[in-house]
Structure 1
Amino acid sequence: MNEIKRVLIVGSGIGGATAAYALRRVGVDVHCIDIKTETPMVGSGICMLHNAMRAMASLDLAQACLDSGYHFDAFRQFDSAGQLLRTNPAPPSCGIRRPELARILETAAEGAGAIFDRGLTVQSLVNRAEGVDVRFSDGREATYDLVVAADGVYSRLRQQLFGTDCSPRFAGQSVWRFNAPRPAEVDAFCLFRTASGRTVGSFPTSQESCYIFYLENSPEPLRVPEAEAHLLIRERLSEFTAPAIRASLECVTQPRQVIFRPLDITLVPAPWHRERVVLLGDAAHAPTPHMTSGGGMAIEDAVVLADCIAATQSGQAALELYSNRRYERCKTICDASLQLCRNEQQDPLGNREKSAALLLSTYQFLGQPI
C-alpha cells in the first residue's frame, strides 16, 4: 500500500469532487474543503467529450451523467439567421449543467465516505517531506499525508508554493454564458456564424435545457457592470436572428442569469508538486474553453492521481508518476485551445479550415488512453 492514507483536498469543484471520490475508491481517507458555504445551485453548462466520459465510466459515473444530461455525437453549423449549413460527426459527448454534475460527484464522494467541509479554507500550512501540517480558517489544525490544491485558476496554494511565475494571464478573449430552454434544433454542438465570423455556440445540457456561449475579443480584459449583463448580451447578439438564439435571449431577463469572465490561462511546468502538496485541474492547467476540455482534464487528473497512489508505495513516487502521466497530455490540450483562440482573434474566416483541422486532430489525440 502507498504511504498516502489521509488527504486534504482544497476546492470541491469538478476536479476536487472527482478526486474525493476516486481517492476513496482506492482506500484513502479524504477531507475536502471549499471556501464557498454551499454547493452552487446555478451555473453554466459543460460539454464532456469522449475522454471525460471514459474517465467517468472508470468511476462508474458515466450513466448518471447521461441520465441527467444529453448525449450527442454531431456538430452542426448554422448561419446567423438559423439556416443549417452543414452537419459533421463529433466525438460522443454529454452536455450537462454544472450544478447537476456537482451533485453527481459530491453525492458519490460522500456516499463513499469523503468528508466535505464548506465555508472553510487553509489559513496556513507547513509543507514537509513526510506530511503537511494545516491550520484552517476556523482555528482547527490537522496533519495530512497529502494536500491536493484543486482551488482553481487563481489558486492561492499554487501562488504560495510555486510563486507568481505561474500566475494566469489574459488570453485575449472573454466569454458570455447563459442557460435557456432547449430549442428542438439544438440537439448537438451547434455554432451560429455571421458573415464576418462572429460566432455563438450552443449545446444541450438536458432534454429541457441548453447552454449558450459567446466569445468576445479584446486586447485587454473587459470589465462588465454586473447589473447590466443581461442587457449587454442582448446588444452583442442583436445580429443573430436565428429563432433558437432569439428565443433563448428572450428568457434572459435578469443580470444574474448571465455569467461573464475574461479568459485567464496558465500551465504550470512539471513537476506539479512541492513536497506533499500537489496541483490538480485548473490550478495546474487552465486552458481556454475552445476544446471544451477544462473540466474533462480535471476529471482525468483525479482518476490518474488516484491510480498513481494505488499503483506505488511511496508518496514521492506517486506524485512524480502523476506529473509524468499528465503534463504532456494537458500541454497538448492547452496549446491547441490557445491556438484556436488566437485563430479567432486574428482571422476567424481565413483560419476556419485550419481551426477545423486542429480540432479534429486534437479530438483524436484525446481518444488515446490517459
Structure 2
Amino acid sequence: MTRVNRVLVVGSGIGGATAAYTLAKAGLETHCIDIQPVRSTVGSGICLLHNTMRALSEIGLAEPCLDSGLRFEVFKQYDATGRPLMSNPTPPGIGIRRPELARILETAASQAGAKMERGLSASAVTDRGDRVEVTFSDGREAAYDLVVAADGAYSKLREQFFGPEHRVWFAGQSAWRFNAPRPPEVDGFCLYRSPDGKRVVGALPTSKETCYLFFLENSAQHLHWPDDQLHILVRERLSAFSAPVVQDALAQVTRPQQVLVRPFDITLVPAPWHRGRVVLLGDSAHSPTPQMTSGGGMAIEDAVVLARCVKEQASVQDALAAYSKRRFERVKTIWDASLQLCKYEQEEVSNPQRSAALLLQTYQYLGQPM
C-alpha cells in the first residue's frame, strides 16, 4: 500500500478538526466535511488536562486555547452546602468553552490548507484496496488514499466498516450542563456532593468570566424529558444543594435552551482501529464517560499521533497499524478509569476518597508520553 497523499476527514468536531489541521500541516491534501451546516455556538465547557495541553503545544495551538480559556491546577470537593471537604493539586490544565475550542481548531485547519466543508456528508464510501471512493450528499464523487472516521460516538462509518457489535451502550448516567458567570472560588475542578453521597454537581472554569456546571443523574435506562421544561427540572434536581456557587448559577438559568442533557452512551473498539484504508479517530473509536474529562483530550492526542504515523511510516497499512498500537492501551486505561468512576457514583454507599484517589492516580498516568 502506497503512502498517503490525499485524505478525507469525516466530522469536524474536536478530533476531526484537529486531524484536519495536523494532516494538512504534514503536507497532505486534506478535505474535512461535516453534516452540520454551521458550527454550533451553543455548548457548555470542556476541560483540557495537562496531557492535552502538551499535545496542543506540540502542534502550535496551546497559546490560543490559553488565551481563550482559564488555566487551573487544583481539584476541590465540597459538601452540598459548600463546606470544603478536600483539596488536591493537579497538573495544570485549562477550561474552555466548547464553541470557542471548535472555532480555534477549525480556523487553524483552514489556515493550514485543509478544505473545510459544512452541510455535507458521505452518502457512499467504498474501499477499493488501492483507494477509497466517496460519493457525497451533493452528488460529487472523489477518491482518497485514506478516510478518517471522526464522525462521533454514533459513527455511521464505524458501523459500516466494523459492524454493529461496536455500537454504543448506556453506562447508567446522564449529564445535565449549563453555563454561568464564574465566581472566584471556581478556580479549578470543583465537586459538590449531596448529603447521601448519591448526587454530584461539578463546576469548571471556562474563562476568566465564565464557568459551567454539570449534574450527573443515575438511571437504568435512557431518561426522556420535555424539552421546554429543562430549566425547571434542573432546579428540582439540585434543590438539595444550597452551596452559593450552585444556587447563584441556577438563578441565571431562566430558559430551557440554557440546559443541555446528554446520556453517557459509550463504546471502546478493540485494536486495530482501521479496516483497509478507513480509520477511526476520537469518539468513533473510544467514546468514554466524562468522569476523567478526557474524551476531547484523547481525540486531540489521536489526531497528533495519526499525523506522526502517516509521516513516519512507508505505507498506509504501516501507518495505521502503528497508530492503533501507540494509542490503544493509553486510551483503554483512561476509558476504564472513567467508567470505574461512573460505576462508583452509582453505588449505594458513596466513597469520595476512593474516587478522588483513582482520579488523581489517572491524572498522573496521563503525564506519560502519548
Q: Please report the TM-score for the alignment, with normalisation by the length of structure 2.
A: 0.98
1: distance between equivalents of 2:263 and 2:94? 25
Pair 1:144-2:144 in alignment:
yes
Deviation of 1:348 (Å): 5.2
- Where 1:345 maps in the other structure, the secondary structure is coil
- Count of residue pairs brought into register by the alignment: 368
CA distance in 1, matches of 2:364, 2:244: 33
Which portions of structure 1, spanning 4 or more consecutive aligned residues, are displaced by more than 4 angstroms?
none
The one-letter code sitting in structure 2 at the alignment partner of 1:215 is L
1:33-89 CA-to-partner distances (Å, cap 9, x unmatched) read 000001101111000001110000001111111110000001112221122233210
- Any gaps of 5 or more consecutive residues in structure 1? none
* Equivalent-residue separation in structure 2 for 1:157 and 1:129 (angstroms): 17
Aligned sequence identity (%): 62
Q: Letter of the aligned partner of 1:170 in structure 2?
A: F
Task: Tell me the TM-score normalized by structure 1.
Answer: 0.98
Counterpart code for 2:15: G
Distance in 2 between the 1:208 and 1:74 partners? 18
Name the structure 2 match of 1:296.
297
- CA-to-aligned-CA distance 1:104-135 (integer Å, 9 cap, x gap): 11111101111111110010011122110000
Matches within 5 A, 1:174-253: 174-197=174-197, 198-253=199-254
Q: Which whole-Å CA distance do the structure 2 matches of 1:10 and 1:16 have between them?
A: 7
State the partner residue of 2:118.
118
Q: For the residues of structure 2 that align with 1:277 and 1:105, how far apart are their CA atoms? A: 23
Provide the rounded CA distance (Å) in 1 between the counterparts of 2:303 and 2:348.
Answer: 37
- Once the two structures are superposed, residues 16-42 of structure 1 have per-residue CA deviations (whole angstroms, 9 ceiling, x without a partner) of 000011111110111000000011011
Counterpart in 1 of 2:107? 107
- Deviations 1:164-209, CA, capped at 9 Å, x for gaps: 1000000000110111111121111111112211210001000010
Distance 2:305 2:13 in 1: 17
Counterpart mapping for 1:310-329 below 5 A: 310-329=311-330
What is the aligned partner in structure 2 of residue 14 from structure 1? 14
- CA gap of 1:348–1:279, structure 2 versus 1, over 3 A, is farther
Q: Distance in 1 between matches of 2:91 and 2:265?
A: 26
The secondary structure found in structure 1 opposite 2:303 is: helix
Q: How does 1:86-97 map to 2 (within 5 A)?
A: 86-97=86-97
Cα distance in 2 for partners of 1:73, 1:85 equals 17
Question: 2 CA distance for matches of 1:299 and 1:272?
Answer: 16
Q: SS of the counterpart of 1:271?
A: coil
Q: Which amino acid aligns with 1:201?
A: G
1:72 equivalenced with 2:63 (yes/no): no
Deviation at 1:278, TM superposition (A): 0.3
Larger deviation: 189-198 or 313-322?
Answer: 189-198
* Distance in 1 separating the partners of 2:217 and 2:47: 20
CA RMSD, Structure 1 to Structure 2 (Å): 1.0
